[in-house]
Amino acid sequence: MLQSASLRSRRLAIGAALLLAATGCASGRAPSSGGTAAGPPAAAPAPVVAPAPIPTPTAAAPLKEFGTMWTFDAPPLEYWKARYGFAPDQAWLDHVRMASVRIPGCSASIVSAGGLVMTNHHCARKCTAEVSPPDTNYVERGFAARSLSDEKRCPDMWADQLQSIEDVTARVRGAVAATAPQAQVEQRDAEIERIQRECASSMGLNCQVVSFYQGGMYSLYRYKRFDDIRLVMAPEVSIAFFGGDPDNFTYPRYDLDLTLLRIYENGRPLQAKDYLKWSARGAQENDVVFVTGNPGSTGRLLTVSQLEYLRDVQYPAQLAGYARQLAVLRELASRSPEAARQFQNDIFSLANSEKAVTGYLAGLRDSTIMARKRAFEADFRRRVAADPQLRARFGGAWDAIAAAERELTSLARQARYHGFAGGSQLLTYAAQLVRIPVESAKPDSLRLPAYRGPALDAMRGALTADAPVDAEREKLLLATQLRAAQKELPPDDPFLQAALGGRSPEVAAERLVSETKLGSAAARRALLDGGAAAVTASSDPLIALARAVDPLNRQIAARVARLNDVISANAELVGQAIFAVYGKTLPPDATFTLRISDGVVKGYPMNGTIAPYKTTFYGLYARSAAFDDKGAFDIPPRWETRRDRLDMTTPYNFVSTNDIIGGNSGSPVIDREAQVVGLIFDGNIESLPNRFIFTDEVARAVSVHSRGVIEALRKMYDAGRIADELEGKRASAL
Amino acid sequence: MLQSASLRSRRLAIGAALLLAATGCASGRAPSSGGTAAGPPAAAPAPVVAPAPIPTPTAAAPLKEFGTMWTFDAPPLEYWKARYGFAPDQAWLDHVRMASVRIPGCSASIVSAGGLVMTNHHCARKCTAEVSPPDTNYVERGFAARSLSDEKRCPDMWADQLQSIEDVTARVRGAVAATAPQAQVEQRDAEIERIQRECASSMGLNCQVVSFYQGGMYSLYRYKRFDDIRLVMAPEVSIAFFGGDPDNFTYPRYDLDLTLLRIYENGRPLQAKDYLKWSARGAQENDVVFVTGNPGSTGRLLTVSQLEYLRDVQYPAQLAGYARQLAVLRELASRSPEAARQFQNDIFSLANSEKAVTGYLAGLRDSTIMARKRAFEADFRRRVAADPQLRARFGGAWDAIAAAERELTSLARQARYHGFAGGSQLLTYAAQLVRIPVESAKPDSLRLPAYRGPALDAMRGALTADAPVDAEREKLLLATQLRAAQKELPPDDPFLQAALGGRSPEVAAERLVSETKLGSAAARRALLDGGAAAVTASSDPLIALARAVDPLNRQIAARVARLNDVISANAELVGQAIFAVYGKTLPPDATFTLRISDGVVKGYPMNGTIAPYKTTFYGLYARSAAFDDKGAFDIPPRWETRRDRLDMTTPYNFVSTNDIIGGNSGSPVIDREAQVVGLIFDGNIESLPNRFIFTDEVARAVSVHSRGVIEALRKMYDAGRIADELEGKRASAL
């Protein structure tokens, strides 16, 4: 499933994308990790392959490796027409756009005249838990409202419906008059803020300026927000996420990763003009299908040196960090069944990130993929160099990025260890408490990025909240972090010296965690309220450690921030250059805004044989039985007792070549008639490298099949009311 | 399934192994192919990796990469004891050996007191077809004898039971007094012949001298042959080979690849003293299991230069040849449903070889595998070089082999095209007809290898047999062969000049095939009977072509034969050196003689998730439904109508880490109590590189589960009689 692509890289990457889009600084840079160990220094980049000439993309054949996440204001109609013999008209596009909604961190769609909304189970899990009565847990047990009055309002859920898109690039650019980079950024951000404010007040809409092509283009996205959203139906998590962590990001799959919500307006079900009708036939092999949704973040415009940094520095360190944290959590979980339950979610979340990053890294280590990236970049730079104007504006961007990446590489280890990344909550508290007085005294724009505006408020909130700290876990995490630091840093490193004081990592961690008072919210609040003076006076050993490291740490963090600014600014130039050279024929990187991707329902070669385009309910029971119904392969009781009601050959999940990524969770899959044939919930393992270069030989999007949804609603959940509404057999929701 | 590994590489490789073993020349060299295009010339070998010291293997830890195909006279008891806490005694080993039998091209076992024999469906398919009555086809429809009298005698089936093994190395070596290599070979072969004859006449047994370690050791294997073998039960081929070509060599799998035979002695069922009891429990995860059987051919002792020749010259040419022939056959098959049926088997056989060789090549191209091979060889050579005696005897072998491989590489293209390999039957006839008079006039030992002894008789037989020749197929094959030759040979090449005579490949092929008379058995017989004079006088255009090429061809063929002798002789030295340095702690390469392999029942990481250790009947129906019951995934009628009788969760197939290869088809999988828990029928795709280096991280042997066999016999085939006999619920076969 896209779960973690969504749950995790969504939380991080989409957050980052939104933030960066808002500031106009979307660098496409993958979010920095909690990993703490550096890999080897970046290898010198291999010489650029003498490239075969790359064809300039045309409407009929865009450069495939940039994928198919098209914006609704630039659909590749001629290409679709040439490829599929199908070019939707504007009414089709408008209808589909209006039927697609964005919900927190995910995608969704309106699928009945009465405002039913279809999304993934994992996209509404918070709501499903929150509306559960005290005596039962709908996440575990499932839920299907028997009537409208039984539908449960979700406390924090909203749905944004995209009303219009307007190109505001000229206005944003026109507002930038300064020459100093810092001032330029401020002028641009102020103008973006102004545009958003004006839009919101004049139209009563939720407005957002989105940066595309790493700043090559700015568009104003206007949304209507619905905020009365109610839970209609959610299956048991064990069937929604059947196969659990092992099967996550893979196919063949057997998940009913579905939740149905309903939009209410003025206390009544939405009377939807634009909704997606349900296909009785559902997805079949070789069908052309479209996916609408909000992909969160891709890195397809990243330069080769940026990819090499990810490959050689960031991802290896991230993976080493995950491995260390997982070792600690698994050790703790093995101590008792209770501990196993307690750490289950954290372990899943980390294992999931580990799997995703392993997949990304495999892509970057694939010599074919990198050779194609190099060939494209060489061609692109040649085209820029051939035009004196382009050369003057953009020609230096790649080398500037490469130089910054090289310096980042040289700083990476110190930045990681001195930044206290690595999973110890107490160490993070200490670093923040020491730094907040200093940073908050500066004007916002001069602070380190993590200490600006709302981020600082959130940090203060977390510091003063009453969250229990698990001392045993802290000791193990701190010890593993110190052991790694000992291996990677020189013995005279000030962090190492201050942290160890001549002790072994285990003894030092034991002492620091036992003696610190930072586990108490009151103690943290006192330090926060006491400001610089309190921090200076504190004898807490972790505060002392943070104080000792901070001066050096601050220098490095400032330098890293500066280098990231250089990379962002030059990435923006690269984005403008892409736009100048190739126009809108290349879809921009994902930005958690609405896209439409074309694809085909299709099996693929896998492990020496063929993966079928679909699975069936038989497959669900087969996979469960192969593992003796154990662990992640246990089927919920309802699915055992009602098994014989099912038509076992009903299509259940299927794959297609659509271009999706975290944030697309909950996207509808529709046919040419804009009818729902499926529900996206994951990509296969082979699709992970699509983050950087799109391929569709074996990469696939994974969906729940529309026929599987109806079969499950009717046979398992006695939810004929809902199935009828989806199938249009009832006039309305009432 | 091991089918083709067996059907094809068995037919070739095992044939080769037997032949080479009989002549004492087992070079481990993979059989030469029907491929006709050379790959690029062998790349210069990469410098030998500076190796970490390789531990000398000990009884407790043999060098894992040489696998676990142990001979029954050198089982690694201490290693088993250390690893599994289990060391069988001599009685256990003797019992298991006597219960294991060899049948043509496959392995089998005695599994009831009444002489029931278990093997794979594909190992007895010929018998199953031959005993079918005129109005039905047991291969398609399945068969289960209702009583003893209903059991059908197989015309050409036999079963060899290994009675004893005797080391005859000293006697074979002692017989070699000559110094000239050719004379040495003759003396050795004569002695082997003498040993076999003496054994046969004195003991009434079927006796074979087998060469191990490429000639490092000779053993006399004495077999008792049973030749009244009857068909008891065979399922439909569509369930035995469910998944067909796509699923072949893969897992998860859902095949009932089973046939049950019975040994009769004096017209009555064998009263077997040694038979394998049936396990009611069957294989379960983490069980230690043993496989007995006759693996056909491996290349684990090949030197790095031999592997590089396979990687860079032979396999690429072989694959190119398969691809050309497959293109022709698929083109022909597409012309009508009748043609599709006609070419189905040939296409399958070639596609299967293509899949296998692709897997082997992938292993050789895996840099980790080759690095391990290099490291081993460097260590091995260092050990040889460190001992003056060993150095004097064996030190030069590797360089001699490498030099011969280099020369073979330089001759490869001409040898292939001038040898007329490539699939055209008519061209092969022509070459043989021209050459037989010349070769048969020489003493046997001076002939080209293909024209010696029984091989020549077989060739004459095939030439005079009345086999129809498909002219259309011949034209297409010849044209594709000529096109490939045109690309790879210099324009003045005599074969090209003679074959084309200035015409295009298509026109030349059309003319040659239309005008030749060699499609007629009578014409061929006339030429064969007419000898050299008839050949010289013939105006047949293909004979003329063969005459024109023969002088050059003969030179190259003789040189290739000489180089192969050099390689064999030096490979024998390497084998003796392995034996001298590492002793019997390394199991010898496969020789289609009885081995016992230890392993563990175990799932493995696959495509981002876990392959379960077992599949169930649910999985069978799931895989069929995912492909809409089409093609290779169609389930036979009986399995549709009786579906609800099955306990769908019964284990059906499973995987284990045992070391198997083509020839192991039909091997029993047994537990510590020597009870049958499964029936080997294939390896997964990840196991193909095991041909050269054994690994068990993801490589697995694939078996039918003993419980699946019983469930199918009782529920699908009403064969309680047989199931009861297997389970020991009936005292005898009667």
Mutate to test the interface with A, among B251, B253, B361, B610 (most CBs of A within 10 A): B610
Q: Which residues of A fall within a CB distance of 8 Å from B252?
A: 626
Q: Is A367 on the interface with B (CB under 8 A)?
A: no
Q: What is the arithmetic mean of pLDDT over A263-286?
A: 97
Q: Provide the pLDDT confidence category of residue A203 given band limits of 50, 70 and 90.
A: confident
Cα distance between residue A179 and residue B434, in whole Å: 88
pLDDT (tens digit, 9 = 90+) per residue, A513-564?
Answer: 999 999 999 999 999 999 999 999 999 999 999 998 888 888 888 899 889 8
Q: Which of A627, A649, A684 sits opposite B612 (nearest CB)?
A: A627
Q: Is B45 exposed, middle or buried (0-12, 13-18, 19+ CB in 10 A)?
A: middle
Q: Provide the pLDDT confidence category of residue B62 given band limits of 50, 70 and 90.
A: low
Q: Is B365 on the interface with A (CB under 8 A)?
A: no
Q: Which residues of A fall within a CB distance of 8 Å from B625?
A: 616, 618-619, 648-649
Query: From residue B119, how far is each of A421, B155, B233, B254, B635 by CA, in Å?
Result: 60, 17, 11, 17, 22
Q: Is pLDDT of A112 > 90? A: yes
Q: Provide the pLDDT confidence category of residue A443 given band limits of 50, 70 and 90.
A: confident
The CA distance from A653 to the nearest CA of chain B, in Å, is: 10
Q: Is pLDDT of B388 > 70? A: yes
Q: Which residues of A fall within a CB distance of 8 Å from B608?
A: 249-250, 355, 359, 684-685
Residue partners of B347: CB distance under 8 A and separation at least 6:
B326, B329, B330, B333
> What is the predicted pLDDT for the residue at A79?
93
- Contact map slice: B 624-643 vs A, CB within 8 A: 625-627
The CA distance from B561 to the nearest CA of chain A, in Å, is: 36
Q: Which of B246, B608, B619 sits opposite A250 (nearest CB)?
A: B608
Cα distance between residue B255 and residue A621, in whole Å: 18
Q: Give the DSSP letter string of A626-675.
A: HTTT-GGGPPPHHHHHTGGGS-TTSEEEEEE-----TT-TT-EEE-TT-E
Q: Provide the pLDDT confidence category of residue B731 given band limits of 50, 70 and 90.
A: low
Residue of B nearest to A617 (CA): B622
Q: What is the arithmetic mean of pLDDT over B399-407?
A: 96
Note whether B622 contacts A626, CB cutoff 8 Å. Answer: no
pLDDT (tens digit, 9 = 90+) per residue, B322-351?
Answer: 999 999 999 999 998 888 888 887 888 888
> What is the predicted pLDDT for the residue at B60?
52
Cα distance between residue A100 and residue A493, in whole Å: 53
Contact A636, A254 (CB under 8 A): no
Q: Is B135 exposed, middle or buried (0-12, 13-18, 19+ CB in 10 A)?
A: exposed
Q: Provide the pLDDT confidence category of residue B56 given band limits of 50, 70 and 90.
A: low
Q: What is the arithmetic mean of pLDDT over A558-587?
A: 88
Tell which residue, A3, A12, A4, A110, has the closest CA to residue A592.
A12
- Contact map slice: A 114-173 vs B, CB within 8 A: none
Q: State the average pLDDT for chain A.
A: 88
Cα distance between residue B462 and residue B525, in whole Å: 10
Note whether A616 contacts B607, CB cutoff 8 Å. Answer: no
Q: Which range has the top average pLDDT, A585-594, A715-724, B552-561?
A: A715-724
Q: Which of B243, B355, B622 sits opposite A616 (nearest CB)?
A: B622
- Name the more confident of A640 and A491: A640
Cα distance between residue A658 and residue A702, in whole Å: 9
Cα distance between residue B576 and residue B595, in whole Å: 20
Note whether B625 contacts A359, CB cutoff 8 Å. Answer: no
The CA distance from B363 to the nearest CA of chain A, in Å, is: 14
Q: Provide the pLDDT confidence category of residue A725 given band limits of 50, 70 and 90.
A: very high
Note whether B684 contacts A612, CB cutoff 8 Å. Answer: no
ipTM: 0.84
Q: Is B623 exposed, middle or buried (0-12, 13-18, 19+ CB in 10 A)?
A: buried
Residue of A nearest to B654 (CA): A626
Residue A282's CB: how many other CB atoms inside 10 A? 24
Q: Name the β-bridge partners of A605.
A: A610
For chain A, how many helices (H) and strands (E)? 27, 22
> What is the predicted pLDDT for the residue at B55?
59
Q: What token pair was written down for B500?
A: 């084309």
Note whether B622 contacts A625, CB cutoff 8 Å. Answer: no
> What is the predicted pLDDT for the residue at B47?
34
Note whether A607 contacts B607, CB cutoff 8 Å. Answer: yes
Residue of A nearest to B356 (CA): A608
pLDDT (tens digit, 9 = 90+) per residue, B607-662?
Answer: 999 999 999 999 999 999 999 999 999 999 999 999 999 999 999 999 999 999 99
Q: Is pLDDT of B59 > 70? A: no
Q: Which of B247, B250, B618 sits opposite A618 (nearest CB)?
A: B618
> What is the predicted pLDDT for the residue at A235?
98
Cα distance between residue B301 and residue B383, in whole Å: 16
> What is the predicted pLDDT for the residue at B537?
94
> What is the predicted pLDDT for the residue at A368?
84
Angle subtended by helix axes B337-365 and B367-386, to nearest 10: 50
- Name the more confident of A710 and B189: A710
Percent of chain A past pLDDT 90, that is, above it, reads 70
Residue partners of A529: CB distance under 8 A and separation at least 6:
none
Contact A1, A682 (CB under 8 A): yes
DSSP strand pairing (A217-226 vs A228-234): unpaired
Residue of A nearest to B609 (CA): A246
Residue of A nearest to B628 (CA): A649
Q: Provide the pLDDT confidence category of residue B397 given band limits of 50, 70 and 90.
A: very high
> What is the predicted pLDDT for the residue at B590?
94
Note whether A609 contacts B250, CB cutoff 8 Å. Answer: yes
Q: Is pLDDT of B51 > 70? A: no
- Contact map slice: B 225-264 vs A, CB within 8 A: 243, 246-247, 249-250, 252
pLDDT (tens digit, 9 = 90+) per residue, B66-114?
Answer: 999 999 999 999 999 999 999 999 999 999 999 999 999 999 999 999 9
Q: Which of A250, A612, A648 sits opposite B607 (nearest CB)?
A: A250
Note whether B625 contacts A618, CB cutoff 8 Å. Answer: yes
Is the C-alpha dihedral spanning B472, B478, B482, B485 positive or negative?
A: positive
Cα distance between residue B599 and residue B64, in whole Å: 12
Q: Is A286 on the interface with B (CB under 8 A)?
A: no
Q: Is B181 on the interface with A (CB under 8 A)?
A: no
Note whether A621 contacts B618, CB cutoff 8 Å. Answer: yes
Cα distance between residue A667 and residue A688, in whole Å: 18
